[in-house]
Structure 1
Amino acid sequence: MRLHFGAFNCPREGWINTDVTPHVHISRIPGLARVIHALGKMSDQRLVEHQRGVFRKVEYLDVTKPWRYGSGSFDAIFSSHVFEHLPLHGARNCLKESYRCLKTGGVIRLSVPDLDAYISRYLPEHSLDWAIGFFEANETSEKNMHHFMYNFDSLSALLHSVGFSSIQRQHYKQGRCPDVEKMDNRPDSLFVEAIK
């Protein structure tokens, strides 16, 4: 079994796809997406995704809380651009659960915005725009804002602190994670893999 957390509208075949998006719950009630769209509270794109059944392929999972999966359940865990949206204590809890739920020898692959790349683009005369982008401060929902940012060293330290080893920086669509060529979808990211 393989777990994809933070799948949102990109569920992948062969994986248990999870997210905290309310679209998971909306998709379970026939016709609700159309009603929300008619009220002007859902974009045309999201309605089309509901009509295609995208969110029915996603299960609800709050990764900051204890997971319902048994210890040693998964061969692989994948996540793209989720960790920066978690407060640090939530990220630690998520990694503890990831470690518990992975089989020995299993791999976790995380992709996040690269803190070092963000810092390299900082210009004092554009500090407001830079900070808005850095924190995703224009988002209206707190869960969509950035709560913490990582470079390779800080993410490695966090992985190591919960027991992971063989922590390596990887390239886009390359690594030990199964299906990495179809899972990766954000090329300008920091990619890190670790082994239980």
Structure 2
Amino acid sequence: MKVHLGCWHRVIPGFVHVDLCDMPHIDHKSGIDALPFLADNSASLIYCSHALEYFDRDQAREVLKEWHRVLAPGGVLRLAVPDFQAMIQVYQQTGELARVLGPLYGKMAIQTEQGPATLYHKTTYDQASLSTLLEACGFVAPERWDWRQTEHAAVDDHSQAYFPHMQKDTGILVSLNLQARKPT
């Protein structure tokens, strides 16, 4: 089983889709922090693009432990989050704060049972801090991954976010794409 967490409107064929939104392709309408409907050691791949940063550092630790539970031994957790180091580079090139506010702070409107709510990013990562967090949660061998070399390369999501926008050959990749494994 392959799982796509926080998928929103993006569909990856062959994946189980989990999100709070109500869309026809969503297999489990749920938050991504607790996955009681997925068995222990059941997923060979968990993919999550630009959703982990909606949890603060303490929450992220618990979320990653839950994902570790679901991931099969030897399975891959593939993450994409805004890349703080790249955001600094964009700011230094442009001098424009507006260019980095969206990726750093985010803004997502959702409908809850209590009514509409707005969510903002609660943290940011660079490669060292995310690698350290992954290792603290039981994952091994964190490494960058290239979106072009994945089975979901055709799904244009934030793992393919560049500055300037859509300049995928010459721009700055502003997504930190990091994956790690659950030990066997």
Shorter-chain TM-score: what band?
A: 0.7 to 0.9
Identity of aligned residues (%): 28
Q: Counterpart in 1 of 2:118?
A: 142
Which structure 2 residues correspond to residues 11-160 of structure 1 after superposition, within 5 A?
11-21=11-21, 24=22, 55-58=23-26, 59-65=28-34, 67-122=36-91, 126-127=96-97, 129=98, 132-133=101-102, 134-136=104-106, 141-143=117-119, 145-160=120-135
TM-score by length of 1: 0.71
**Aligned-partner residue type, residue 157 of structure 2:** N
Runs (4+) of structure 1 exceeding 6 A deviation are: none
Residue in 2 that maps onto 1:29: none
One-letter code aligned to 1:57: H
Q: Secondary structure at the match of 1:122?
A: helix
Q: Name the structure where strand makes up a greater proportion of residues.
A: 2
Paired residues, number: 158
With the length of structure 2 as denominator, give the TM-score of the two structures: 0.75
* Aligned residues of 2:81 and 2:125 also touching (Cα < 8 A): yes
Query: How far is 1:131 from its partner?
Result: 6.4
Alpha-carbon shift at residue 185 of structure 1 (Å): 2.8
Matched, 1:172 2:147: yes
| Structure 2 unaligned spans of 5+ | 110-116, 162-174
**Cα drift, residue 84 of structure 1:** 1.7
1:194 matched residue in structure 2: 180
Contact kept, 8 Å, 1:71 with 1:103, in 2: the verdict is yes
Deviations 1:85-144 (A, max 9, x none): 2222332222101111111000010011111011223369644x356433136x66432x
Report the Cα distance in structure 2 between the residues aligned to 1:71 and 1:172, rounded to whole angstroms.
27
Which has the larger share of helix? 1
Cα separation, 1, equivalents of 2:95 and 2:77: 39
SS at match of 2:147: coil
Report if the CA contact (8 A) 2:90-2:100 is conserved.
no
In the alignment, the residues of structure 1 paired with residue 122 and residue 180 of structure 2 have an alpha-carbon distance, to the nearest angstrom, of 22
Contact 2:10 2:157 in 1 (8 A): no
SS of aligned partner of 2:64: helix
In structure 2, the residue corresponding to 1:56 is in which secondary structure? coil
Q: Cα RMSD (Å) of the superposition? A: 2.3
Give the unaligned 5+ runs of structure 1: 25-54
Contact 1:172–1:184, Cα closer than 8 Å, also in 2: no
Q: Distance in 1 between matches of 2:152 and 2:100?
A: 31
Structure having the higher Rg: 1
